[in-house]
Structure 1
Amino acid sequence: MTAIPGMVWMPADHRLLGDHGHQMPFLLLGDKYARAVKVGAQAQPVMFPLADAAQVDELLPLVDGVMLTGSPSNVHPSHFDEDVTDPALPLDPERDSLTLALVRACVAHAVPLLGVCRGFQEINVALGGSLYQQVQNVPGRMDHREPKGAPFEEQYAPRHPIHLAPGSVFARWAGAETVMVNSLHGQGVNRLADGLRALAHAPDGQIEAFEVLGARSFAYAVQFHPEWRCWDNPFYGAIFRAFGDAVRERRANRLGLPTVA
């Protein structure tokens, strides 16, 4: 009998969908994120529909890792003491309420944590940092958004290099200190939370990856999108393999199983 793989909690987006003037609320998880966990990390994606912050303490012990995905929505700027600068940008306060609490719980209980794009931003905000609401409007910063309307292969194509901290896990995963990545974001880190350390920067100085200082398990996040066909990209694949290793170690410890080398 095949062993059940480690389970990774992937919080859903809350979105209104419909046509002809009628919309209903949906809970959504992008296939590319779930597939990266399934194939790249060799773990089982799970969702807890309608879970809220009050349930984090009872649900987190049931899983072996957490991945916070990207999303069309932005973290609400009220969480870093700012007003909304562009009301046209999508928000998801229900997701914010859950994920910001979930980040702090993962760090406190040594649950492997991987953040991608919005998830990267959520971790920074949850730990006390702030965001640029529109990086493209910040003097000296590039426009990090994707060419909307282009085929997905072009939107997720390598867009710019990032410079990785020498000796960091990211430099090890990349096999180099400079690597090309995709770029599909409007928000970005402004003030990095005190509990984080930047491990990668774009050419304009924008932070592209960080680690949680003092974390007792895997706790990394990236601004780019390594989930995109991670099995075809050695650097992206290495990120998910390392995450999967941490998830399996957590599962073994949680269930009292022998650790598989």
Structure 2
Amino acid sequence: MSVQKQGELVKVHIEGKVARVVLNRPESLNALDLGLMNGLLSALKEIRRDPDLAIVVLTGEGKGFSSGGDIKSMLSLGNEGDFSEVMDVINELAMTLYTLPKIVVAGIHGSAAGLGFSLALTADYILCEEDSKLAMNFIGIGLIPDGGSHFLLQERLGTHKAKRMIWNGKVMLGQEALMKGLVDEALPSGKLAEGLERYIEQCLQSPVKALLKTKEIYTELNKERLQEALLKEKDGQWLMRQTSDHQEGIKSFIEKRRPSFKGE
């Protein structure tokens, strides 16, 4: 058993074949800044090297899973070099989660928005609470999804429904997300931990090596498509950051008002 220090941005608790990874910036609803993303990436790489681990459970500390990318950090990315560095970390994080040779389980309570939702979608199995709020809401600030979401949503929804979801950017409650096929279980409020334990036990009572071999085959079939999506998202995100609509989206977010987009 191993527990990382409480003060760290990512907490990891290992017991038996299970690693529990907790995003730990509760004061910002686990908004993903460079520090948190690098901390998560480092933890995942360490977990990957441990042959005794079979299951990884990803959750968020505090009132929600993750509110998405840290807007304040985003505002400081004034040049293409800084932007490229952050996008490279996002892309490596998505690829590392998706290709991890473990069963990855995401447990969502509260908010999972933007990049936070993208990371959850890399998981093999997603549980949420019925009153969770899930949103692929990049469109609200004139951006496109990143973290591989073009690929990940296409896998779960198909192209047409994925486009509709990205374009409307609306907030869904957990039950609606389940009906759409975006998550695998929607549990009553406060029952996430119970649901996670039940699913972990189900996996541990299964022939885990067979489960992981199936994951490996699908990973090999799909990882080049994910890599291509990540590269296109990086290029597209930079182009969108230059638009007037993005500037208006950020300004309206800060001013807490409805944006007035002009398609420019």
Q: TM-score range by the shorter chain?
A: 0.3 to 0.5
If each structure's strand is expressed as a fraction of its own residues, which one has the higher value? Answer: 1
TM-score by length of 1: 0.34
**Structure showing the higher helix proportion among its residues:** 2
Which structure has the higher relative contact order (CA within 8 Å, separation 6+)?
Answer: 1
Question: TM-score scaled to structure 2, two decimals?
Answer: 0.34
